[in-house]
Amino acid sequence: MPLAGLAFLVAIAPPLPEQRSPAEQTRLASNGESFRYLPDDEVFALDFDPRQVQLDLLEGWDREQDAYNDSAALAYVSGPMYERHVNNSGQEITVPLGDIKLGARVWRGRNRTAAQQRAFIGIRRNGQVDFGYGELTPERAALYDSFIGGLHSLYNDLESPPPNYRGAYSISMGQQVRYYLPRIRMVMGLRNDGRLEVLMSRDGLTLEQTKALARERGLRAAYLPDHASKSRFIIPGVKGFSEEDANWISGGATSFVHVPYMLRLSQRMMPLQGNLLASLTPRQGARGCGNPLQCGQTLGSQILDRALAGFNRLMEQGVEPIARLIWEPKGHKAGDRQRSPLREPPITADPMALRELQQSEEAAITSENEAPLAPDLPPPLLLQEGQELPADPEATTADPGLVTPQMQSDAVSPVTAQPPGSMPQGAPAPPPPLPLPPVP
């Protein structure tokens, strides 16, 4: 009976994506645009040339609508994982789990072990992209124009992980189980033409489904910025953060996980000069399953993944509809179905702010014009070109004599972006990027 049940779950699991032909992959990569939004029936996807598109941060809680209205940006996507941290003065702040470097600005994770045991995406000063492993070192700070650390590696055909790589979902049994459940949505990958691709699946994926989807799209390496709960994929004026997205992320709960920052994609004022294909040379040989024991473990993981995908489909399409028919609330008028029977608490991802709101008599009163919570990321470290990254991760300021006015301006807000494509001479300047909320 257990074997029959396992076979049944595997049989009803959603099919894996079919591999595209090399001709289809080449046709997709033949367009020379700097940025492309390419949704289809499976995913919301974009790809871009890192030589012409830069990464910035939009800080602040609950700024999805601001991002949607930012006509100077190309897109907003989920930033890497973050954690709560108490600084030296006793203030609770949000810090990235890994290291982030965007131009001259650097945010360093306080948990150095986690930063060392994760993966990163680095964009060199010539536009070449590296999918690697580890923390931001002084050598990497000098090498990379942009560095996004704290990521989880699905696979990397160009570089094998070092012995100290642990990933984000292999620490405890609970996280391992969550890793195999169909909850993966966001993927960042390296295409065959050296461009970066970011996609958000329209439905949750398991580990093997995510790998198969990334392979089907021809990605040479694929990393996760987060598991699922912080997935954001916004194209200003085209695709926002919808109620369906929030309901999917929260599983229908009234409060989903909010994010303190998002990655902002915008047109570079000064394109980087380099060859994207130079980054596609494997630095280590492709790895097989190695020995019969490792092959057996791989096969077992794939069977478990398919069984969990089948169990998820059984629950979504079999058990849950029947449960709704049996336990659906009765006596509600048609116009009242959108109204919650109980007053909902205010939604926030900041536990300190939530505690203060719950203690207030007006905690449940929300206003449509309420200003978003101020960002609580620590100020970035400013590095002048040639200056070495300090060893102390708590360092947040550079030598004032080395900080130029332009660097100070870049640290306050992202550089003004141009719309996609070339800007004709004499054309009006695009609107400036969104200002950050005031810091209390």
Structure tokens at 439: 């810091």
What percent of the chain is modeled with pLDDT above 90? Answer: 26
Q: 376 burial class (0-12, 13-18, 19+ CB within 10 angstroms)?
A: buried
Mean per-residue pLDDT over the chain, rounded: 74
For the chain, the domains span 17-282
Kindly state the average pLDDT of the residues 96-100: 90
Pairing mode, strands 221-224 and 75-78: unpaired
In whole angstroms, give the CA distance from residue 440 to residue 427: 38
Pick from 109-113, 147-151, 259-263, 283-287: least confident:
283-287
Pick from 115-124, 167-176, 204-213, 275-284: least confident:
167-176
Closest CA to 199 of 34, 44, 48: 44
In whole angstroms, give the CA distance from residue 112 to residue 142: 19
H helices present in 240-391, as ranges: 243-250, 292-314, 320-327, 351-359
Structure tokens at 53: 């598109």
Q: How many CB atoms lie within 10 A of CB 209?
A: 22
CA-to-CA separations, 235 to 30, 67, 154, 431, 435, in angstroms, rounded? 22, 8, 25, 16, 18
- Identity of residue 18: E
Asked if 268 and 52 count as a contact pair (C-beta separation under 8 A), the reply is yes
Per-residue pLDDT tens digits for 244-277: 777 777 665 545 678 889 999 999 999 988 888 7
pLDDT in the model for residue 366 = 45
In whole angstroms, give the CA distance from residue 375 to residue 350: 10
pLDDT in the model for residue 403 = 45
